[in-house]
Amino acid sequence: MYILLVEDGNGQSEIAAVFLLFKETEVTVTYDGHFKKNNSNWGLVRVIMGDKDLNERQVLAQSFPSAQLLICTFRSFRREIAIEKMGITTGQRCMCLELAYSTSEEKYDELYSRLCSCAPSSVIEYFNKNWHPIRREWVMGMKYNTGNFLNSTNNRLESLNAKLKSVISRYSSLEEFCDKFFLVLRVLRNERDRKAALVSQKVPVLYHCPDDENVDKYVDYLTPYAYKYVEKQMALSDKVKLIPPSTSNPVNNTYSIDSSEGLIEVSTASCGCLFWKSMRLPCRHIFMVRKLVDTNLFEESLCDQRWSLAYYKQNQRIYVDGDDNSPRSDDSPQSDDSPQMVHISEMRVPKKKIRSQVYMYYLIVIILL
């Protein structure tokens, strides 16, 4: 069984496709035929995360030529680089793991040179054969450049796998498997729909800068999940320190910052840090520079469209009217047992800022169809 899992604009996981195949040779046909036929936006897939030993890795690369393949750091790299298995010392293993967490290609090159100078030739040979040529797929700094939304592992899929295993027995018949699989799928989607409904029902608690109008604008523009990241970055912007002014270049509003990731260049519209590249949301450094040049902290173009509330509601099934947009009818062969579809429309009451952990609810109208 193959599962394609995606992350939506509210940080929720959604099963995009499930394939049950007799032979792995059918994978190509499945991706190029069924999946692309039913997902017209397949060409927009930008990042695919999987295990290193995934058999269809090359198939994915061919079927999604515009996507960057990434390797789960935890399940692949950490597991493979073992002291007994490779005959290396603890220090050499630490050095290998440090490579995986390099924040840039330059840091990787530096650590790689150190490894080559002290590791046994067998280890270097193994490393050069299996990992060095595909470093862009597993080194953190290079992975984050792809815009992977800070996902560095297969943990989302592992979590789903654990839920499936808790319900479906190992030796189930195909009929039993299908019944239970669709049951789990229905429960998971109900839970995701509930969280989608909360997007309209809850007013987020503003822990930082509650009186700043820029905060209000980000709250209104972003999904709650994306806003939490921005709020944290906004709060951290006060702690960012420029390196001595003599090396800054205020003419084009580009500044140099000595961060934990090394020296990075930042302007009012872009940054060299991993958060900005990975999340495609404004980082602490951009906020700091915008404060410095007295520019509004809010700017739509700093946020990837996928994080906007409007985009989320245009694409999330409970906010979309019409049966054509409801995948529920196709979820399960047990249509008689399917839960009722819930659509949500909303009527906003004037917003009040609150600082406690208690949420204020909007007046909403829920229509059970």
Residues in contact with Zn ion by the rule CB under 5 A: 271, 273, 276, 283, 285
* Non-local CB neighbours of 313 within 8 Å, separated by 6+ positions: 199, 319, 320
Q: Is 169 left (phi over 0), alpha (psi -120 to 50) or beta?
A: beta
Query: What's the CA gap between 281 and 279, in Å, rounded?
Result: 5
Question: What is residue 290's DSSP assignment?
Answer: H
User: Whose Cβ is closer to Zn ion: residue 219's or residue 271's?
Assistant: 271
Instruction: Give the span between the Cα atoms of 58 and 48, in whole angstroms.
Output: 12
Tokens of 1: 């069984």
Nearer to Zn ion, 239 or 352 (CB): 239
Q: Tell me the closest approach of the beta carbon of residue 285 to Zn ion, in angstroms.
A: 3
CB of 232 to Zn ion, least distance (A): 13
- The smaller minimum CB distance to Zn ion, of residues 28 and 253, is found at 253
- Cβ nearer to Zn ion, comparing 16 with 262: 262
Report, in Å, the least distance between residue 257 CB and Zn ion. Answer: 8
Length of the chain: 369
d(CA 269, CA 303): 10
H or E stretch covering 61 = helix 57-63
Three-state SS for 193? helix
For residue 184, what are its two tokens? 């789990």
Which is closer to Zn ion, CB of 285 or CB of 328?
285
As measured in angstroms, the least distance from the Cβ of 237 to Zn ion is 10
As measured in angstroms, the least distance from the Cβ of 226 to Zn ion is 16
Q: Specify the residue, 215 or 266, whose C-beta has the smaller distance to Zn ion.
A: 266
Minimum CB–partner distance for residue 258 and Zn ion (Å): 12
State both tokens at 188: 């998971």
